[in-house]
Chains A and B, each alone.
Chain A
């Protein structure tokens, strides 16, 4: 601890002398570690990704830009691997740069990682494959495919100067405190009508112009599937609290965020690709947590049941 304080003091001193000029050898560190936060507490260090204008020219820059373009317009640029109308940037805002919306710079340095979901150590590339399979309701591109290489290169570029294996402030989605009151579907519906329907529609199907999403669907056949991270109520509540309504993130209270997340995740969506043929069995294997409503009966409808699935899409 003392040693850390000393490092922090040193950084302050260097910044004071140099004005944190780029040529200073300590500069990359300084941009990663705000002296104040580390001196006071063990809080996670902050990080700011480089400006997009700094993407280099030349072949490396071309691949970085390609990765960015896939990230913000996935259905058009990685068509073969996408089964819905979503783009990565619908859930990782500002092209994957925004803190508290699971930014790429918060993820890149945390892989390889053991993941409970797969029961294995996964590389960053394998993590991206999962996004295509579940969030995009599509197919996983091969690890050496041009698409995956471009996305990985974009994430690497954005993370330059970030420490490896250190959880940064603003990484992932915020974890809200457990709901103080029982999560309530009909309260969630009221919150939805008031704060979300304007853009995502009362039917949750978003709004499209010329066949493309302007406002993405939150459930139904064109949304993320039952295996995606956003179907877990805790992830959704954290994302919504920090980022929705668009441009008014942080205005909902925790209770509203929990209730509306539950309301959203209590609607039908495409089947989990790991479906074993039986809803109860699939729930038992992959969704055995109160965080998932898969295989739970809501308003007389068993969520995830294939025969009921189609008729429930609305």
Chain B
């Protein structure tokens, strides 16, 4: 018969071990972000910024404050080629599943950068597509899935507000060309197919100029 005290003791050891593991993972993520993992994954901050805020000029997306499950899925999608990007496919493949998970959690916990620095352009056409859609082409307003002002909803609908315009444009085109086909129910592939070059430009610059912080405002 194992004594109750021993069971509790074993439990304590397990809990401590778990805590140590979580700790290790967080610091792993921190060191990969700053130095890479030494096995082919470059330091993330080189492209995604010191605070995960992204780089508007090069079209590198913000990762700070995105949902952890969404980020993990994207990293997995780069490894199985349902999403293509030479740099990210090689980066994600050089990470272990544990490292990908730790990095996803790490970035999800970083604070959302407070405001966008991009001046608003093309308010009318882009704003109308974003908030009201083009229903004659079966396109609802983008905010109906991406949340009020594009600040994102849960694990499946990433934020668009404050993402670089170049990045948003590139993703819409990737869906058009089939180089990104990782979207549930093919929602983005289907609606991107009906967007014109002009629509893509207008809506991308509208979202790039929105504040990334949810205002709790009207959609």
List the interface of chain A (C-beta within 8 A of B). 73, 76, 93-95, 97-98, 195, 198-199, 207, 209-212, 214-215, 245-249
Interface positions, chain B 184-211, Cβ under 8 Å from A, are 184-187, 190-191
Count of residues in B whose CB is under 8 Å from the partner chain: 26
Question: Would you give the shortest CB distance from B53 to chain A, in whole angstroms?
Answer: 22
Q: How far is the CA of A211 from the CA of B135 in the complex (A)?
A: 26
Q: How far is the CA of A245 from the CA of B185 in the complex (A)?
A: 8
Docked-complex contact B187 and A73, CB < 8 angstroms = no
A-B contacts, 21 of them at CB < 8 A, read: A73-B218, A93-B135, A93-B140, A95-B132, A97-B135, A98-B135, A209-B148, A209-B216, A210-B215, A210-B216, A210-B217, A214-B144, A214-B145, A246-B140, A246-B145, A247-B138, A247-B139, A247-B145, A248-B138, A248-B190, A249-B138
With A246-B145, A248-B190, A249-B138 in contact, do A210 and B214 touch (Cβ < 8 Å)? yes
Contacts of B190 in A (CB 8 A): 247-248
CB contacts between A and B, total, < 8 Å: 59
Interface positions, chain B 108-138, Cβ under 8 Å from A, are 132-133, 135, 138
Question: Would you give the shortest CB distance from B6 to chain A, in whole angstroms?
Answer: 40
Residue in B132, B135, B185 whose beta carbon sits within 8 Å of that of A198 in the complex: B185
- If over half of A's interface residues share one DSSP class (helix, strand or loop), that class is named, otherwise mixed; here it is mixed
Contacts of A98 in B (CB 8 A): 135
Interface stretch (choices B71-79, B83-91, B149-157) = B149-157
Q: How far is the CA of A247 from the CA of B135 in the complex (A)?
A: 9
Docked-complex contact B184 and A198, CB < 8 angstroms = yes
Question: Would you give the shortest CB distance from A275 to chain B, in whole angstroms?
Answer: 34
Known: A94-B133, A94-B135, A247-B190. 18 other contacts (CB 8 A): A73-B218, A94-B132, A97-B135, A98-B135, A198-B184, A198-B185, A209-B214, A210-B214, A212-B216, A214-B144, A214-B145, A214-B147, A214-B219, A246-B145, A246-B187, A247-B140, A247-B145, A248-B185
Q: Contact mask B163-195 → A, CB, 8 Å, 1/0?
A: 000000000000000000000111100110000
Q: How far is the CA of A91 from the CA of B173 in the complex (A)?
A: 31
Q: How far is the CA of A214 from the CA of B147 in the complex (A)?
A: 6
Docked-complex contact A207 and B154, CB < 8 angstroms = yes
Q: How far is the CA of A215 from the CA of B144 in the complex (A)?
A: 8
Question: Would you give the shortest CB distance from B203 to chain A, in whole angstroms?
Answer: 15
Q: Closest residue to A211 on the B side, CB-wise? A: B216
Contacts of B148 in A (CB 8 A): 209-210, 212, 214
Residue in B140, B147, B191 whose beta carbon sits within 8 Å of that of A209 in the complex: B147
Residue in A97, A198, A246, A248 whose beta carbon sits within 8 Å of that of B144 in the complex: A246
Q: How far is the CA of A209 from the CA of B217 in the complex (A)?
A: 10
Contacts of B133 in A (CB 8 A): 94
Q: How far is the CA of A249 from the CA of B216 in the complex (A)?
A: 29
Contacts of A199 in B (CB 8 A): 145, 156
Docked-complex contact A247 and B191, CB < 8 angstroms = yes
Docked-complex contact A214 and B153, CB < 8 angstroms = yes
Contacts of B139 in A (CB 8 A): 247
